[in-house]
Amino acid sequence: MREQHIVPLSRQAVELLRELQVLSRRSSYLFPALGNARRPMSENTVNAALRRLGYAHDEMTGHGFRSMASTLLNEQGWHPDLIELQLAHAERNKVRAAYNRAQRLVERRRMMQAWADYLDQLQAGKIATELTRVEAA
C-alpha cells in the first residue's frame, strides 16, 4: 500500500524465489504481468489461475491464502502482533501506531520458518488436517 514492508522469509521460500528469479530475469518482478513485464502480476491473474484449477469464487481467492495463514498461525499459538506485522496490517490503536515502530523481525523469521516447515509436513502427509481429523471421527 505504498509503504515499505519488510517480509522475513523461510529457507524454503528463499530457495523457491531464487529458482523463480531465473525465469523472470527480463523483469524486475518475480511475478510480472502476463502482457507487460514492467508491471506486477495482478490479483485477478492469481484468481483466474485458481478458477482454472477448479476452485470456485466462494472456495478460494488469492487473498484467501492470507486469511488461511492468519487463521492457522493464530491456531498454532503465534502472537497476533507477529501475524499482523507479517501481513502488513496497520495497527488500529492510533496511540500504539504512533509510538510503536517495532518490526520484531527475529520472531517473524522464526514464525515463517515454522510455517514453511508446517506446510512441508502437510504436503508430506505427516500432519493430519483438522478437517481430516473431524471426518475420521
Higher model confidence: residue 29 or residue 13? 13
For residue range 38-74, list pLDDT tens digits in order.
899 999 999 999 999 999 999 999 999 999 999 999 9
d(CA 51, CA 43) in angstroms, rounded, equals: 12
Q: What is the pTM of this model?
A: 0.77
Q: Is the pLDDT of residue 76 over 90?
A: yes
d(CA 6, CA 117) in angstroms, rounded, equals: 21
Closest CA to 74 of 83, 64, 62: 83
